[in-house]
Amino acid sequence: MRTLIAGAGFCLASPVPVRSPTLYAELRLNAGASLLIPDEYSERALYLIDGEAELDGETLPRHTMAVIPAGKMPLLSACGECHLALIGGEPIGPRRMNWNFVASTPELIDQARQRWAAGDWPQVPGETTRIELPR
């Protein structure tokens, strides 16, 4: 069973809005089933949530992201019932990271740091403490 959560893949399109070419699907395979993973996106990875599976004959470790090389169409095989997440998409350009902030430009990072320092940031429900901005 394939359930498309967001984006497009397997000739399906999710109603969930995305801002870039995205693939996010839940896969559930019965024992002995197999699925060819299409090369619809240049960046793809499988995450084995539960069960046992192989990718092109290699055992997939549970709770580990298995990156699929661009252009490859590997065969996913279920050794028993298994539950996986398939994620992927296209690169969206360079990203910068500073502390907990990720943005496409240094200016956006600076703006986020200034907002945090000023306390102009939504509070997480249930949180009672605030982490100060590192220097």
CATH of the domain at 68: 2.60.120.10
pLDDT at position 112, please?
95
Average pLDDT over residues 13-19: 94
Residue 17, pLDDT above cutoff 90: yes
CB atoms closer than 10 angstroms to residue 48: 22
Q: Whole domain around residue 115: which residue ranges?
A: 93-135
- Number of structural domains (the chain) is 2
Q: What is the DSSP letter of 129?
A: -
Burial label for 78, CB within 10 Å (0-12, 13-18, 19+), is buried
Average pLDDT over residues 38-63: 97
Structure tokens at 28: 């559930």
Q: How confident is the model at residue 53 (pLDDT cuts 50, 70, 90)?
A: very high
Sheet containing strand 58-59, strands side by side? 34-36, 75-78, 53-55, 58-59
Query: For strand 65-68 and strand 22-29, is the pairing parallel, antiparallel, or unpaired?
Result: unpaired
**Based on the domain organization, do 74 and 130 belong to the same domain?**
no
Q: How confident is the model at residue 123 (pLDDT cuts 50, 70, 90)?
A: confident
In the chain, what percentage of residues exceed pLDDT 90?
84
Contact residues for 16 (Cβ-Cβ < 8 A; gap 6+): 5, 6, 7
**Based on the domain organization, do 45 and 26 belong to the same domain?**
yes
d(CA 132, CA 135): 9
Q: How confident is the model at residue 130 (pLDDT cuts 50, 70, 90)?
A: confident
**Based on the domain organization, do 35 and 83 belong to the same domain?**
yes
pLDDT at position 92, please?
85
d(CA 30, CA 20): 32
d(CA 94, CA 73): 26
pLDDT digits (tens, 9 = 90+) for 58-111: 999 999 999 999 999 999 999 999 999 999 999 888 899 999 999 999 999 999
Q: Which residue has the tokens 């070419």?
A: 21
